[in-house]
Amino acid sequence: MSHDLGFHGDTMAEGLVVSTCLGGAFVGSLFSGSIADGVGRRRAFQLCALPLIIGSSMSATAKNLWGMLLGRLFVGTGMGIGPPVAALYVAEVSPAYVRGTYGSCSQLATCLGLMGALFIGFPAKQIEGWWRMCFWASVAPAALLTVFMEFSVESPHWLFKRGRGAEAEAEFEKLLGGPYVKGAMAELSKSQRGDEADTVKLSELFYGRHRKVVFMGSSLFALQQLSGINAVFYFSSTVFKSAGVPSESANICVGIANLLGSLFALVSMDKLGRKALLIASFSGMAVAMTIQATSASSLVSGSSVIYLSVGGMLFRLPRCV
C-alpha cells in the first residue's frame, strides 16, 4: 500500500493511516447514543454501515495518501457508531440470565473478523495491489449488516420508550415467546418509571452520586487502551518481524490468542461474574506488560529477549478481551 500510494518509509504517514481511523471512531462514538435514541437500534446499525461501505470503497480506490486518509476517516466513524449500539442492543434484547454470554458474542465476532482479515491479507506480498481487494472485501460484512437488520427485531425498550407499547409486546413475543411477554412488559414498565424519575443532566454525571460510576467505567476503558492493545493489533507484523518471526505465523498467533480469550469470556461471563473476570484480566495484563518491559531491559540478552517479548505480547491479548 505504501509503495502504491507513495508514502513508503514515511512512518508519520503510516501512523496517520492507522490513527485517522481511530480519530473517526472517536467522532462517531460521540453521536452514537443520540443516533440510537433518535432512529432506533436497527436503523442505527444500518446508518453505521453506510460510512463503513463508503470509507472501504474510497480506500480501495485511493490514488494517494489523502484519499486513503479520507476513506479511513469514514470507516472510523462507522466503527465509532457501531459498537456502543451493539452493546446496547444486545443488553436490551437478550434475557438477563444469558446477557453476559450474548454480549461476549460481539467480541467473538470481532476476533473472527480480525482472523478473517489476516487470512485475506496473506496474498498481499505475492499479488501486486491485493491490498485493494482487502478493502473491497470489508464492504461485504457492512452490506450484510444493512440487509440482515431489516429482518431483525427492534429493541422493545426503545419502542416502549417511544410510546409504542403494542409493538414492544410484539417484539418480546418474537424474542421470548408468548408466555413470557407479560412478565417482560411489567419489568420494562417498572424500569422505565425508574429511568424517568432518575433523569439527569450531562453535567451531573461528573459530580455527586453518578461520579463514581462514570469514573470507574471510563477508567476501565482508558486503562485498556493505554495498555497498548491497539499497537498490538495494528503493528504486530512489524513487532514480530523485528524479533525474527515471520509475519504470517505471527498474525495467526495473534488471531488465535485473541480468539481464545473471547471464547473463555463467552463461557465464563455469566458463571464467574464481571468483577472476577475484570480483576483476572487486568492482573494478567500487568504480568504480560512486566514480561515485555523486562525483555526490553538490560536484565536479559540473546534469544531470551525474543521469547519474552513475543510471549508477553501473546499473553496480553486474551486479557485485553
| Structural domain ending residue among the three candidates 117, 152, 187 | 152
Give me the number of domains the chain comprises: 3
181: its cell numbers: 411477554
Average pLDDT of the chain is: 82
Residue 293 lies in a domain: yes
Mean pLDDT over residues 269-293, rounded?
79
Taking the chain, what is the end-to-end CA distance rounded to the nearest angstrom?
29
Mean pLDDT over residues 178-200, rounded?
72
pTM of the model: 0.76
Give residue 128's Cα distance to chain centre.
30
Do 86 and 188 belong to one domain? no
Question: What is the DSSP code (8-state) at residue 154?
Answer: P
Q: Tell whether the model's pLDDT for residue 207 goes beyond 70.
A: yes
pLDDT of residue 56: 95
Residue 25 lies in a domain: yes
Q: What is the CATH number of the domain that holds 189?
A: 1.10.286
Do 238 and 144 belong to one domain? no
Phi, psi of 302 (to 5 degrees): 70, -145
Number of helices and strands (H, E) in the chain?
A: 14, 0
Count Cβ atoms within 10 A of the Cβ of residue 13 and give its class: 0-12 exposed, 13-18 middle, 19 or more buried.
middle
Q: Tell whether the model's pLDDT for residue 65 goes beyond 90.
A: yes
Q: Tell whether the model's pLDDT for residue 126 goes beyond 90.
A: no
| Structural domain ending residue among the three candidates 124, 152, 180 | 152
Q: Tell whether the model's pLDDT for residue 208 goes beyond 70.
A: no
pLDDT of residue 43: 93
Q: Which amino acid is at 115?
A: M
Do 158 and 130 belong to one domain? no
Do 291 and 191 belong to one domain? no
Residue 211 lies in a domain: no
Residue 203 lies in a domain: no
Residue 163 lies in a domain: yes
Residue 115, C-beta contacts closer than 8 angstroms, at least 6 positions apart: 255, 256, 258, 259
pLDDT of residue 320: 53
pLDDT of residue 64: 92
Q: What is the CATH number of the domain that holds 25?
A: 1.20.1250.20
Do 86 and 178 belong to one domain? no
| Structural domain ending residue among the three candidates 99, 125, 152 | 152
pLDDT of residue 231: 66
Do 52 and 107 belong to one domain? yes
Distance separating alpha carbons of residues 162 and 40, to the nearest angstrom = 10
Q: Which amino acid is at 306?
A: I
Do 265 and 140 belong to one domain? no
Do 128 and 176 belong to one domain? no
Distance separating alpha carbons of residues 12 and 202, to the nearest angstrom = 37
Residue 98 sits in which domain range? 1-152
Do 170 and 232 belong to one domain? no
Of the candidates 81, 78, 74, 53, which has an alpha carbon nearest to the alpha carbon of residue 137?
A: 53
Query: In this predicted model, what pLDDT tens digit does every residue of 213-269 receive, in sequence order?
Result: 888 888 887 877 776 666 666 666 666 776 666 666 667 777 777 778 778 777 777
Residue 206 lies in a domain: no
Do 42 and 127 belong to one domain? yes
Residue 93 lies in a domain: yes
Do 26 and 145 belong to one domain? yes
What would you report as the CA-atom Rg of the chain, rounded to the nearest whole angstrom?
22
pLDDT band at 41 (very low <50, low <70, confident <90, very high): very high
Do 40 and 184 belong to one domain? no
Question: What is the DSSP code (8-state) at residue 155?
Answer: P
Q: Which amino acid is at 264?
A: F
Residue 210 lies in a domain: no
